[in-house]
Structure formats: C-alpha cells, structure tokens
C-alpha cells in the first residue's frame, strides 16, 4: 500500500528550481532511502512531504503530495496537522540544550496542546522505550539533553518525533554526525520502527541505504533518476547514471 | 580517476586471463596427446594443479574486495562471476587431466577410430575460445552463441552412446575409452557454456536459466 504519493512535485528557492517533476510512491511500513550527490535536492524533497519547505522565505512548491490518498497541499489541510502526522529528524542531533531529557521528548506533545500530565509521562516513557533509551535515562530525566552522547542525543530526537504519534518518519542524514557504533544502533532502531511507521531516510552513505532500506530513490540535479527495490538497485541498476553514482565512478 | 576497487578488479581480470590461457593449452595438449598415443599425464597434472591454485587466489581476492569495498552493480556482478568463471576454467584443467588418464587405463588405442573424438574436440575447442573471447571483449552476442553449440555437443555424445547400445561399435576397448573422452569433452563444453552465461550476467545483470 502507498503511504505517500508525490505527483509532479517541484520545489524552488527564490526561483531556483531544485526539485523537478518528481513522482514516486512511498510504501507503507517500508524504509525508503533517498540517495544522490550533495545538493541534488534530497532534503528539499522530503521537506515537501510534510510541508516544511514552504516555511522558508521565497520557497515555492507545485504538484501534489498525497498522504493516504489525500492531498496535503489542499486548502482545507492544516500544515501543523500534517507535520504531526509526518515527523522529521535532522542530521545533527538537536536536543534543546537548556531543556531536560524529559522535556525534550515532551515538547512536541505540549506544543500539540496535550495538557494531561499523566498522559505526557506515559508518552515520554513509551517513546524513550521505543528508542531503547529508557533504561539509560530513567533515573536522570531532569538532566540536560546535552549531557547525553551523540548517539543517545539522536535517539532522544527520534523519541521526540515519536512522542506525538506520527505515521511517517522523515530522517535527514540521521547518522552523519555519529560514530560507527552509534550508527549501527540507530540503523537497528530504524529497521525495528518500520513495523509501526513508514520511514523515509535521506543518506549520503550508500552502504547504509543498502543495509536498511527496502526501496531506494536516486536523485540527481533535482530529478528522480531511478526508483525501485533496494535489492535490485544495488545489483542491477537500470540507468547508467545510477550505476555510475553507486559504483563511485561519478565526476 | 582510478578507484581503489579498480586495482583489485584489474588483478582479478588478469588472473582470469592467465587461467584462460593455461586451461586452453591443457585441453588442446591433452586431446592432441590422446590421438597421438602420447603420455602427458605429469605435465597436465601440474597445469591442472596450477589452475586450481589460481582459482583459490581469485576466490580469496574476490572475498577481500567484497569485504573492503562493498562493491555494487556491475562491480559486484563482475566479482561474483570471477569466482564462477575461474571455477569453470579450473574444471577445463581437471577434465584435460582426466582425458590423459584414459590412455594409461586402456593402453594402446592406436587401432581405434578417433574420428568422433576429433570432431567433437574441434567443436569444444572452438567453444573454449569463444567463451574466453566473449569474456575479454565483454561480447554478449558471442556469449549467446555458446548455448547452441553446447546442445550440438550434447547430441553428439548421446548419439555415440546410442550407437554403442545398439552394438554398432564392435571393439569394446575402443568404444568404452572413446565414451569416457567424449563425456569429458561434453563436460568441458558445459563449463564453456556457463562461462558465456556469466559474461551475459556481468554485462546485463540477466541470469541465464540453467539447462
Ligand atoms: N534554505 C535554502 N535557501 C536557498 N537554497 C537552498 C536552501 N536549501 C537548499 N538550497 C539549495 O537547493 C538545492 C538542493 O539542496 P538540498 O535539498 O539541501 O540538497 P541535498 O539534501 O541533496 O544535499 C541546493 O542547490 C541548495 O544549495
Ligand atoms: Mg540534505
């Protein structure tokens, strides 16, 4: 089943056309990796999936993005609601440094108007358990988020995204600031999360895409060059450009 | 820009070419010696061992390249196929040796009619050359011609066995020894054919279904 469908999606920054006529279907409960050289539009593409792109001054979007068949760019849709359903985690772990570990996870719930303290506690615990951080932090929930290691901070950010019960998780190079050990832990977590979430991950690490994703999209200069099952893309890409990029014969 | 992986791939390629040359020589020499009644067991055995040795080196290097560089796409297909192709080439050597042992088992066969063997050996030698040429030139069309030739060799073998069953070959020593040789040749043809399949796989990614 398709969770997200992009149809003729285009994106601009001040007239600079950076995502060009992209159409693709993201499958439910699967991990889709977006790969391609730096600057090819990967981050912009996934930011169009939860209406984050339009927050940048001068940014423009055209085309459609359907979530469960409904166009998220329809006038009747509240973008805040979309961003709750489609959560995002960024490249650098970005816990709010002045906030406690607890509040770092609870913040999304509070911003979404959840007031019930008991419910908030439950959701924070549940989210921290999902990212396998609970046992390590349960006795120091009031410590600053910045006191955690890089890998733990990234898991904290994933917990924050999960706390508001999204349906889709967009991960933009979530491991690029992490060491190999923390990276494999995050990868294991991502694979586990696909049971309950649809995941789109931007990565510049092709081996990471090969290890964890079910589908791979390869972008180049704003265009979607090839999209298909990861097992095929890495054994037998159809397009010459894909072959060149994934074998490191680019440029 | 030369990729680090390219150095390894070039090394694999060169080892395959070395094996191709030696295995061709082994088969040609074994057949020639057979028809001339010459004993070349020792020589061919050494070549066959050398082929096995290089084949092991190819496997080692292929696994190392996979571990070090995590190759994908055509690189991965080449590396996987290098192991399979060198297996085929080392079998050429092994069957060449088997051919030389027939003479020592059966003794003097100079009175036997070798015409079927010579005919089939010529075809098999062409197949070996074509499989190697297809590999060197990465020529899919040439590789595809091997399948028909393999069928022809299979049929020649089956027909000869049928003749024996129908008692059309009177001399038992001649017919049994010839059957063995033809069987070895038929196996060689089979491996030449599958080398062709690997060449097709390297280039197109398409796996040719086994017969
Ligand atoms: N906030 C921005 N303002 C203006 N241009 C931007 C902005 N973010 C990205 N771009 C430009 O858009 C293009 C695509 O960027 P991005 O989507 O970040 O690529 P990727 O994630 O593949 O590295 C690049 O040329 C980049 O310079
Ligand atoms: Mg990016």
Q: How far apart are CA B31 and CA B128, in angstroms?
A: 14
- The CATH number of whichever domain residue A22 belongs to comes to 3.40.50.300
Give the model's pLDDT for residue A250.
84
Identify the three-state secondary structure at position A136. Answer: helix
The number of folded domains in chain A is: 1
Q: How far apart are CA A54 and CA A18, in angstroms?
A: 14
Nearest to B70 among A207, A237, A249 (CB): A207
Give the model's pLDDT for residue B75.
96
* Beta-strand relationship, A16-27 and A2-13: antiparallel
From residue A146, alpha-carbon distances to A106, A139, B185 in Å are: 16, 16, 72
What does each of the 211 residues of chain B score in pLDDT, given as a tens digit?
689 899 999 999 999 999 999 999 999 999 999 999 999 999 999 999 999 999 999 999 999 999 999 999 999 999 999 999 999 999 999 999 999 999 989 988 989 999 999 999 999 999 999 999 999 999 999 999 999 999 999 999 999 999 988 877 778 899 999 999 999 999 999 999 999 999 999 999 999 887 7
Give the model's pLDDT for residue A94.
79
Give the model's pLDDT for residue A95.
79
User: Which residue carries 């977590």 as its tokens?
Assistant: A189
Mutation probe of ligand 1 site: the residue of A9, A12, A14, A16 with most atoms within 8 A of C-beta: A16
**Ligand 1, atom 2, residue with closest C-alpha:** A13
> Hey, is the C-beta of B70 within 8 angstroms of any chain A C-beta?
yes
Q: How far apart are CA B121 and CA B140, in angstroms?
A: 24
The whole-angstrom distance between B204's CA and the closest CA on chain A is 8
Closest residue in B to A244 (Cα–Cα): B73
Q: How far apart are CA A245 and CA A218, in angstroms?
A: 9
Would A108 be classed as within a structural domain? no
Q: How far apart are CA A61 and CA B181, in angstroms?
A: 73
Q: CA torsion A108→A112→A115→A119, rounded to 10°?
A: -60
For B187, the token pair is 């196996």
Beta strands in chain A (DSSP E): 2-13, 16-27, 31-35, 59-67, 70-71, 86-89, 168-172, 198-202, 215-220, 223-229
Give the model's pLDDT for residue B198.
98
Beta bridge partners of A169: A87, A199
User: Which residue carries 């290890």 as its tokens?
Assistant: A211
* Beta-strand relationship, A168-172 and A86-89: parallel
> Hey, is the C-beta of B165 within 8 angstroms of any chain A C-beta?
no
Instruction: Compute, in angstroms, the gap from residue B178 CA to the centroid of ligand 2.
Output: 69
Tens of pLDDT, residue by residue over B63-97, are 999 999 999 999 999 999 999 999 999 999 999 99
Q: Phi/psi zone of residue A133: left (φ > 0), alpha (ψ -120 to 50 degrees), beta? A: alpha
> Hey, is the C-beta of A249 within 8 angstroms of any chain B C-beta?
yes
**Chain B residues with beta carbon closer than 8 angstroms to that of A242:** 73
Is the pLDDT at A111 greater than 90? The verdict is no
Is the CB of A104 inside a 6 Å radius of any atom of ligand 1? Answer: no
| Residue A16 phi, psi dihedral angles, 5° rounding | -85, 110
Contact B72 A234 (CB under 8 A): yes
Would A46 be classed as within a structural domain? yes
Give the model's pLDDT for residue A112.
85
**Ligand 1, atom 7, residue with closest C-alpha:** A13
Would A42 be classed as within a structural domain? yes
Tell me what percent of the residues of chain A surpass a pLDDT of 70.
Answer: 100
Give the model's pLDDT for residue A226.
98
Long-range contacts of residues B1-6, Cβ cutoff 8 Å, at least 24 apart: B3/A247, B3/A248, B3/A249, B4/B69, B5/A248, B5/B65, B5/B69, B5/B71, B5/B75
Is the pLDDT at A127 greater than 80? The verdict is yes
Q: Is the ipTM of this complex over 0.85?
A: no
User: Which residue carries 């995002």 as its tokens?
Assistant: A88
Would A191 be classed as within a structural domain? yes
Q: How far apart are CA A172 and CA A202, in angstroms?
A: 5
Would A220 be classed as within a structural domain? yes
Instruction: Compute, in angstroms, the gap from residue A224 CA to the centroid of ligand 2.
Output: 15
Is the CB of A18 inside a 6 Å radius of any atom of ligand 1? Answer: yes
Q: Which atom of ligand 1 is nearest to the CA of A45?
A: 17
Could you tell me which residues come within 8 angstroms of residue A54 by beta carbon, excluding any fewer than 6 positions away?
A60, A61, A79
Average pLDDT over residues A25-43: 97
Counting ligands in written order, the one closest to the CA of A59 is 1
Helices A117-130 and A101-111: angle between axes, nearest 10 degrees: 120
Contact A235 B74 (CB under 8 A): no
Q: What is the pTM of this model?
A: 0.88
Average pLDDT over residues A154-180: 93
Is the pLDDT at A182 greater than 90? The verdict is no
Tens of pLDDT, residue by residue over A154-166, are 999 999 999 999 9
What's the CATH code, domain B4-204?
Answer: 1.20.58.220
Would A111 be classed as within a structural domain? no
Give the model's pLDDT for residue A188.
93
- What sections of A112-227 are H helices per DSSP? 117-130, 134-137, 150-163, 180-193, 206-212
HEC profile of A150-174: HHHHHHHHHHHHHHCCCCEEEEECC
Which domain range does residue A51 map to?
2-94+167-246
Beta bridge partners of B8: none
Q: What value does the mean pLDDT of chain A take?
A: 94
With vertex at residue A32, the alpha carbon angle to CA A28 and CA A36, rounded to the nearest 5 degrees, is 155
Domain boundaries of chain B, sorted by first residue = 4-204
Beta bridge partners of B78: none
Tens of pLDDT, residue by residue over A214-233, are 999 999 999 999 999 999 99
Contact A237 B73 (CB under 8 A): yes
pLDDT confidence tier of residue A98, bands split at 50, 70 and 90? confident
Give the model's pLDDT for residue B121.
97
Instruction: Answer whether A4's CB lies under 8 Å from A65's CB.
Output: yes
The number of residues in chain B equals 211
Contact B205 A249 (CB under 8 A): no
């Amino acid at each position: 089943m398709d969770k997200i469908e992009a149809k003729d999606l285009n994106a601009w920054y001040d007239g600079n056309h950076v995502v060009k006529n992209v159409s693709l279907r993201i499958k439910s409960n699967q991990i889709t990796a977006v790969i391609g050289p730096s600057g090819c539009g990967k981050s912009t593409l996934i930011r169009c999936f939860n209406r984050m792109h339009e927050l940048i001054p001068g940014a423009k979007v055209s085309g459609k993005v359907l979530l469960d068949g409904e166009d998220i760019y329809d006038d009747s849709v509240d973008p805040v609601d979309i961003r709750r359903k489609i959560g995002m985690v960024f490249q650098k772990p970005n816990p709010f440094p002045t906030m406690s570990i607890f509040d770092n996870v609870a913040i999304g719930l509070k911003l979404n108007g959840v007031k019930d303290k008991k419910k908030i506690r439950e959701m924070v615990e549940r989210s921290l358990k999902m990212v396998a951080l609970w046992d390590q932090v349960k006795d120091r929930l009031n410590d600053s988020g910045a006191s955690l290691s890089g890998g733990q901070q990234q898991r904290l950010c994933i917990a924050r995204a999960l706390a508001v019960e999204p349906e889709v998780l967009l991960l933009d190079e979530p491991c690029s600031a992490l060491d190999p050990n923390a990276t494999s832990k995050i990868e294991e977590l991502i694979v586990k999360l696909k049971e309950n979430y649809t995941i789109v991950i931007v990565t510049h690490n092709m081996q990471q895409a090969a290890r964890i994703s079910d589908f791979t999209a390869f972008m180049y200069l704003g265009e979607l060059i090839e999209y298909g099952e990861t097992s095929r893309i890495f054994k037998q890409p159809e397009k010459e450009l894909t072959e060149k990029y994934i074998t490191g014969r680019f440029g | 820009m030369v990729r680090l992986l390219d150095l390894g791939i070039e090394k694999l390629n060169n080892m395959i070419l070395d094996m191709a040359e030696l295995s061709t020589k082994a088969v040609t020499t074994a057949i020639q010696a057979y028809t001339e009644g010459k004993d070349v067991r020792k020589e061919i055995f050494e070549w066959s061992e050398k082929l096995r040795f290089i084949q092991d080196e190819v496997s080692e290097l292929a696994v190392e390249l996979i571990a070090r560089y995590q190759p994908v796409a055509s690189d991965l297909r080449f590396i996987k196929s290098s192991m399979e192709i060198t297996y085929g080439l080392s079998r050429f050597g092994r069957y060449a040796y088997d051919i030389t042992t027939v003479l020592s088992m059966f003794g003097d066969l100079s009175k036997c009619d070798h015409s079927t063997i010579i005919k089939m050996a010529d075809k098999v030698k062409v197949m070996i050359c074509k499989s190697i040429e297809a590999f060197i030139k990465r020529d899919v069309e040439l590789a595809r011609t091997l399948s028909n030739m393999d069928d022809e060799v299979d049929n020649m073998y089956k027909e000869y066995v049928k003749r024996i069953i129908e008692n059309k070959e009177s001399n038992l020593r001649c017919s049994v020894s010839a059957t063995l040789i033809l069987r070895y040749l038929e196996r060689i043809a089979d491996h030449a054919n599958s080398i062709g399949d690997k060449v097709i796989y390297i280039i197109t990614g398409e796996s040719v279904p086994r017969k």
